[in-house]
């Protein structure tokens, strides 16, 4: 199958810049260059790209994510099937886009299960010629059920993922592929979905509803296809032309004045940092990646780096339009092509003059979060980017403690049940969102230019942004044995080496 040079290079741990640039030039000159994407997608001609991105319709009614049906037929069990396969989406008004979908859609269907449930999901990989996995991002599942790159599901094969959802695990998780070398492309082509674990006793009033807003980042050529990634995408992570909410650009939501709404915000983009504000409405943070906070915290803005989630209660007290918008955020950008991050309207809420029925107040206490306490082990992970000249040109690497990912190498040996302090040191020129599989952690402090700051509140997290020049210290405890991944969640960086394995021993 025809695959362009720099994509092939993306499978390696370093990439050769001159070769990739030469390849880009060739592609730009060739109008005949049909580019089969994956699984027999129609090609598109590169000449169309010069006409710029296709416009997308805005202002349609917000679609709630469709629920994955539970086939179990008895309480306490969630059983379903997820098929990853080529599909078609209609983003632009008048043309189709070949995508990869879970059960034909992107984002994939919303999975809703409860604490205490057993989950059995049959995964069918129908992506032609490509292995895949499903990683249950943030969830406390056994290592051999967590879609590690070592446990690939071959094209055409099925496997069952089975795990229990323990008490206290309610939270806003998600699922996406994690095959070695192909994660970034499979995700930007459409494979990502939300997995909400509901609490048995939820302190948040049911009258607030519960709506997932999943942000993805779409780049669309004029013919409706998704262009393959180029050099700047591999260096910075792929940032698209349109930030979508549940697959729609700036959809509308109608609310009555005085109403409150529970919103779960997901950054499911490959590499887009979202600094968010709600104009005309008041945000209260009630939860993070791993579930509810101890108590609600008012917020004017929120930085949601790739893979992070936040749970909000938003109060719509003023009639008129309330908009969820982006603010400027400098995450470090290498080379040209830096996207405009500020001033995007992601969602428009039409607040009516008619008052809502009285809503119960948000409780002052949500649930207890116990601090993890004194660590018995300390580890230091240093993130660097390297650029070196060699015989073939410039080579770039994304490294942790000087090493690029090696699936055959265990980087850290840890013990189950032991509290550890992890110090993530970012000595690179870009921000890198750090993600650890298998458990939730607590951020205890950040240090920048010798200045130490404590977080505003204690929270369960599985992904935390580590800004360039910053050190983030976190406490964690792995309860289950087995190999776990830790990596930068700019998926192109993960793919180019910024990942390691911690082997948790019983």
* Residue 264 beta carbon to Cu ion: minimum distance, rounded to whole angstroms: 24
Beta-ladder partners of 471: 425, 447
* Residue 432 beta carbon to Cu ion: minimum distance, rounded to whole angstroms: 3
CA distance 142 to 367: 25
Stretch that binds Cu ion, among 144-152, 174-182, 407-415, 480-488 (CB under 5 A): 480-488
* Residue 428 beta carbon to Cu ion: minimum distance, rounded to whole angstroms: 8
- Interface size with Cu ion, residues (CB under 5 A): 4
**Binds Cu ion by CB under 5 A, chosen from 314, 488, 496, 501:** 488
Burial class of 19 by CB neighbour count within 10 A (0 to 12, 13 to 18, 19+): middle
Comparing CB distances to Cu ion, the nearer of 14 and 490 is: 490
* Residue 40 beta carbon to Cu ion: minimum distance, rounded to whole angstroms: 32
CB 134 within 8 A of CB 185: no
Q: Which of residues 391-450 bind Cu ion (CB under 5 A)?
A: 432
Q: CA of 19: how far to CAs of 26, 386, 394, in Å?
A: 11, 18, 9
Please report whether residue 272 would count as binding Cu ion according to CB under 5 A: no
Handedness of CA 146, 152, 155, 161 (dihedral sign): negative
Comparing CB distances to Cu ion, the nearer of 153 and 499 is: 499
Helix (H, G, I), strand (E, B) or coil at 275: strand
Judging by DSSP bridges, how do beta strands 470-477 and 419-426 pair with one another?
antiparallel
Comparing CB distances to Cu ion, the nearer of 137 and 493 is: 493
Comparing CB distances to Cu ion, the nearer of 275 and 331 is: 331
CA distance 464 to 474: 10
* Residue 493 beta carbon to Cu ion: minimum distance, rounded to whole angstroms: 3
Write the CB contacts of 50 (distance below 8 Å, at least 6 apart in sequence). Answer: none
**Binds Cu ion by CB under 5 A, chosen from 121, 422, 493, 502:** 493
Comparing CB distances to Cu ion, the nearer of 127 and 235 is: 235
Q: Which of residues 200-229 bind Cu ion (CB under 5 A)?
A: none
**Binds Cu ion by CB under 5 A, chosen from 490, 499, 501, 502:** 490
* Residue 185 beta carbon to Cu ion: minimum distance, rounded to whole angstroms: 16
* Residue 489 beta carbon to Cu ion: minimum distance, rounded to whole angstroms: 7
CA distance 140 to 434: 17
* Cα separation of the two ends of the chain: 44
Of residues 71, 162, 57, 76, the one with CA closest to residue 109: 71
Comparing CB distances to Cu ion, the nearer of 232 and 493 is: 493
Q: Where do we find the tokens 């909000």?
A: 312
CA distance 61 to 349: 10
Comparing CB distances to Cu ion, the nearer of 236 and 246 is: 236
* Residue 334 beta carbon to Cu ion: minimum distance, rounded to whole angstroms: 11
Q: Residues interacting with Cu ion, by CB under 5 A?
A: 432, 488, 490, 493
């Amino acid at each position: 199958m025809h695959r362009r040079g720099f994509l092939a290079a993306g499978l390696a741990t370093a990439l050769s810049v001159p070769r990739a640039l030469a390849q880009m030039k060739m592609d730009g000159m060739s109008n005949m260059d049909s580019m089969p994407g994956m699984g027999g997608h129609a090609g598109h001609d590169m000449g169309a790209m010069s006409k710029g991105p296709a416009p997308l319709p805005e202002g349609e009614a917000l679609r709630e994510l469709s629920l994955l049906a539970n086939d179990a037929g008895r309480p306490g069990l969630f059983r379903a099937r997820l098929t990853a396969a080529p599909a078609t989406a209609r983003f632009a008004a008048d043309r189709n886009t070949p995508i990869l979908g879970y059960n034909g859609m992107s984002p994939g269907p919303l999975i809703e299960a409860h604490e205490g449930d057993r989950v059995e999901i049959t995964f069918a990989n129908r992506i032609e010629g490509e292995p895949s996995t499903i990683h249950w991002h943030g969830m406390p599942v056994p290592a051999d059920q967590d879609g590690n790159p070592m446990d690939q599901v071959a094209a055409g094969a099925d496997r069952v993922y089975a795990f229990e959802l323990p008490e206290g695990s309610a939270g806003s998780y998600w699922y996406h592929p994690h095959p070695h070398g192909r994660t970034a492309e499979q995700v930007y082509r459409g494979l990502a979905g939300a997995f909400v674990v509901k609490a048995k006793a939820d302190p948040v009033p049911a009258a607030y509803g519960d709506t997932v807003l999943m942000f993805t980042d779409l780049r669309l050529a004029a013919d409706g296809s998704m262009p393959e990634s180029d050099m700047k995408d591999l260096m910075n992570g792929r940032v698209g032309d349109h930030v979508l909410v549940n697959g729609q650009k700036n959809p509308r939501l109608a609310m009555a004045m005085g109403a409150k709404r529970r919103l779960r915000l997901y950054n499911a983009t490959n590499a887009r940092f979202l600094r968010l504000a709600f104009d005309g409405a008041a945000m209260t943070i009630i939860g993070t990646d791993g579930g509810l906070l101890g108590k609600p915290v008012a917020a004017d803005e929120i930085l949601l780096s790739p893979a992070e989630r936040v749970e909000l209660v938003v109060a719509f007290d003023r009639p008129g339009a309330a908009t969820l918008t982006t603010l400027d955020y400098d995450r470090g950008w290498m080379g040209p092509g830096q996207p405009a991050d500020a001033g995007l309207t992601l969602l428009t809420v039409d607040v009516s003059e008619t008052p809502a029925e009285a809503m119960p107040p948000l409780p002052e206490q949500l649930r207890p979060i116990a601090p993890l306490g004194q660590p018995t082990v300390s580890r230091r992970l240093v993130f660097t980017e390297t650029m070196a000249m060699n015989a073939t040109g410039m080579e770039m690497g994304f490294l942790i403690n000087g090493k690029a990912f090696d699936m055959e190498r265990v980087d850290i040996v840890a013990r189950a049940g032991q509290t550890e302090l992890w110090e993530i040191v970012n000595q690179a020129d870009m921000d890198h969102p750090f993600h650890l599989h298998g458990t939730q952690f607590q951020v205890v402090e950040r240090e920048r230019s010798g200045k130490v700051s404590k977080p505003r509140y204690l929270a369960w997290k599985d992904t935390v942004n580590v800004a360039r020049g910053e050190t983030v210290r976190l406490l964690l405890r792995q309860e289950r044995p087995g190999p776990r991944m830790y990596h930068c969640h700019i998926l192109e960086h993960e793919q180019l080496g910024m990942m390691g394995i911690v082997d948790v021993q019983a």
